[in-house]
Amino acid sequence: MADTTFNILVVDDEAQMRDLLVSNLEKENYTTMTASNGQEAIDRLQNGDFHLVLLDVMMPEMDGLTACMRIREFSNVPIIMLTARSDELDRIHGLKIGADDYITKPFSPRELLARIEATLRRSHRFTVDQAATIKIGKLEIDTESRTVHVSGKLVSLTRKEFDLLHLFVQHNDKVFSREQLLDQIWGADYIGNLRTVDTHIKTLRLKLGEAGNAIQTVWGIGYKFEEA
């Protein structure tokens, strides 16, 4: 990606796999740290600053799926799951509990690097060349800390909810179809349906309270943000 240095946490119980992943990442100028199980990964995340996690599923002490759920209790860091299992239900479960992408072993370094870059691009695209704070109506959005206040009160949003809101306020009055929102926020490789968008919009409106009325339904098309 651009000149920004991204720090990636590599989590796998196999030392050979960790070394291989680290070697490929550092060739692309990513900085890395490793963990050998889920609990160690959580400890690393709670004490460090990471832009993305590569998280193996099958590990001792704490498996990757459990670790993913635990991580989501305190962090919105992007997570790409790594697994030797190709069952669709496993992939869907991983995505539902908070993973951003899922890649099946064995995979080529080129495919993994492409997925990492796409995930980082989606997560960080809003922070480049934009004002750190956006004030619109009762909303105040801090793009650096990724926090939202409504009438001065902090509102807790998930990463996807924040990205949806930020996209809307950056394109005031523009109508987005559900397909466009799914593609821009979840990515073209997301396994899911358009109801995912409706569910997140509904929850986002509820969390924003009165300010949520600015997110309007355009019947037959999708949604738009219109400042009251």
Using CB atoms within 10 A of its CB, is residue 82 exposed (0-12), middle (13-18) or buried (19+)?
buried
Asked if 182 contacts 160 with a C-beta cutoff of 8 angstroms, the reply is no
Say which residues have a Cβ less than 8 Å from residue 193's Cβ, sequence separation at least 6. Answer: none
Region 7-126: CATH code:
3.40.50.2300
Topology at the third CATH level for domain 133-225: Arc Repressor Mutant, subunit A (1.10.10)
**pLDDT grade, residue 4 (50/70/90)?**
low
β pairing state of 133-136 and 176-177? unpaired
* Residue 77, phi then psi, degrees to nearest 5: -55, 135
Residues of the chain with CATH 3.40.50.2300: 7-126
Q: Report which of 100, 16, 92, 25 is spatially closest to residue 55, judged by C-alpha positions.
A: 100
The predicted-structure confidence for 44-67, as pLDDT tens digits, reads as follows 998 888 999 999 998 888 889 899
- CATH 1.10.10.10 in the chain: give the residue spans: 133-225
Reduce the DSSP state of residue 17 to 3 states and report it: helix
Structure-block tokens of residue 54: 């590569």
Per-residue pLDDT tens digits for 147-183: 899 999 999 988 889 999 998 988 777 888 888 898 8
